Chains A and B, each alone.
Chain A
Amino acid sequence: GENVEQHPSTLSVQEGDSAVIKCTYSDSASNYFPWYKQELGKRPQLIIDIRSNVGEKKDQRIAVTLNKTAKHFSLHITETQPEDSAVYFCAVHRYSSASKIIFGSGTRLSIRP
């Protein structure tokens, strides 16, 4: 079955600096790669996603890059702010009738003032 590895498990960056979180996956047929943000005590919420026919997608300070050949994708947050502190989950999905989303193990991002 699909295996998703996420690194690092914790990340602390200075406010204003950039943060990068990486995920690798095993199933080359996977074709949808979302990222979820979970603030303390809250529900996970989708922040950005990318499909396998795209190499990069950007939304303001957040970007995701995908390398299908190497089977890895990354979340980039620039100009980090205190409200970016949260746990971030990558996920992998293969578009088929009974597939399921597999989540990475999460990265706890802390922004230092």
Chain B
Amino acid sequence: DTAVSQTPKYLVTQMGNDKSIKCEQNLGHDTMYWYKQDSKKFLKIMFSYNNKELIINETVPNRFSPKSPDKAHLNLHINSLELGDSAVYFCASSMDRFQETQYFGPGTRLLVL
């Protein structure tokens, strides 16, 4: 009965590869997010979608491209992976675009070698 789920949980890959992370929420929420948490634990928003519409796009390299096929899913595709992309990526959802309580997924630990 997982509320926000992500796959994969771990991702180890070589520099230059392309990879995707998938996220799904079964809470019926309208809004979903991607956060990046670096090795120092800083938690920073990357993107936000509301009902499949992009509403927040932080200064993230173009190599990162989110896609929301429907409001229950938000995927993150990363092209040409770099060492600095190594981090934990958290998906989250909230009831609506006014945010407030964020429900986080379990995280995807990405290691770029």
Contacts and interface: CB of A to CB of B under 8 A. Distances in A.
Interface of A: 32, 34, 36, 38, 42-46, 49, 87, 89, 93, 95-101, 103, 105-106, 108
Contacts of B105: 43
Given A43-B104, A43-B106, A46-B101, A100 B43 contact: no
B45 A101 contact: yes
A89 B48 CA distance: 20
Given A43-B90, A43-B105, 15 more contacts: A34-B100, A34-B101, A43-B104, A44-B43, A44-B104, A49-B100, A95-B98, A96-B98, A97-B55, A98-B55, A100-B45, A103-B43, A103-B44, A106-B42, A106-B43
Interface residues of B, number: 20
Contacts of B56: 98, 100
Contacts of A95: 98
Interface of B: 40-45, 48, 55-56, 90, 97-102, 104-107
A99 B98 CA distance: 7
A101 B42 contact: no
A97 B98 contact: yes
Nearest to B56: A100
B42 A49 contact: no
A32 B101 CA distance: 10
Contact of A105 (B42, B98, B104, B107): B42
